[in-house]
Amino acid sequence: MTWVERAVERSAAVQRSRQRIAQQVRQMLDAARKLIDAKGDDFTTQELAAEAGVALQTFYRYFASKDELLLAVIGDAMSEAVDRWSREAADLPDPLARLRYYLTSTLERLGGNNRDAAMPRFVVSTRWRLHRQFPKELAEAEKPFVDLVRGEVDAAIEAGLLNPPDPEWDSWFMTELVRSVYHYYAFAAPAEGELDVVKEQLWRFCLTALGGSTT
């Protein structure tokens, strides 16, 4: 083999290795979410490996602990949700409509059946424990939603629809408010129609705080 051929072969091998790693990690994340639907975070790494169809040593090759896996699950779920919301809001007429959709869609799966409630309850019950261990990593995992909101706030400012005192901080505070509402209703059983009222009030508060008009 020439040196060029050797380099190509090495590159192909690296690519295959990356694809195998990505597949195994995907299997573990999907298995974790399936177990979370069934029992929250009350599962062992052995159960996770069995569900994912990988060896236990494969799990520890990529994750130092179960908590690191749970952190990855939260980040994966957040990225998936942000991608879904972006696609669903793509045809909305203006940045305010998209911003409203993003803020209120976070509450869509609350108050539903047990399967829909499993992930919100997992996030709420696990997040603060993970925050103590991985504050920076957790903030990074949740950053896609903050960026999504900030992007529409900036677009609304450019369109003359909003006038917030501090777009960066106001966007962050707004996502923290949404998180608080999400955390409350993950376990509180809302009355019929209550979440619709909460969504309207949440949007009214955020719009007013950002210097927008409610009329």
Q: pLDDT tens digits for 65-110?
A: 999 999 999 999 999 999 999 999 999 999 999 999 999 998 887 7
pLDDT digits (tens, 9 = 90+) for 119-166: 788 888 898 889 999 999 999 999 999 999 999 999 999 999 999 999
Cβ partners under 8 Å of residue 214, min gap 6: 204, 207, 208
What percent of the chain clears pLDDT 90, i.e. is strictly above it? 69
CA geometry: angle at 52 spanning 30 and 182, to 5°? 30
List helix spans (H) across 63-94. 66-89
Quick one: pLDDT band at residue 10, thresholds 50, 70, 90? Answer: low
Q: How confident is the model at residue 116 (pLDDT cuts 50, 70, 90)?
A: low
| Banded pLDDT at 115 (limits 50, 70, 90) | low
In the numeric block, the tokens 């779920």 are attached to 77
Residue with more model confidence, 105 or 6: 105
Neighbours of 85 (CB within 10 A): 20
More confidently predicted of 186 and 104: 104
Strand, helix or coil at 210?
coil
Q: What are phi and psi of 162, to 5 degrees?
A: -135, 155
Mean pLDDT of the chain: 89
Residue whose C-alpha is closest to residue 34's, from 71, 77, 78:
77
Angle CA(18)–CA(79)–CA(157) in degrees, nearest 5?
130
Residue 114 has pLDDT above 60, yes or no: no
Q: How far apart are alpha carbons 58 and 25 in whole angstroms?
A: 9
Q: Is the pLDDT of residue 11 over 90?
A: no
Q: What percent of the chain has pLDDT over 70?
A: 91
* Domain covering 66-215, topology: Tetracycline Repressor; domain 2 (1.10.357)
Q: Which residues, including other chains, have CB under 8 Å from residue 212's CB and lie 6 or more apart?
A: 96, 156, 161, 162, 163
- pLDDT higher than threshold 80 for residue 190: yes
Specify the CATH architecture of the domain 1-63.
Orthogonal Bundle (1.10)
- Domain ranges in the chain are 1-63, 66-215
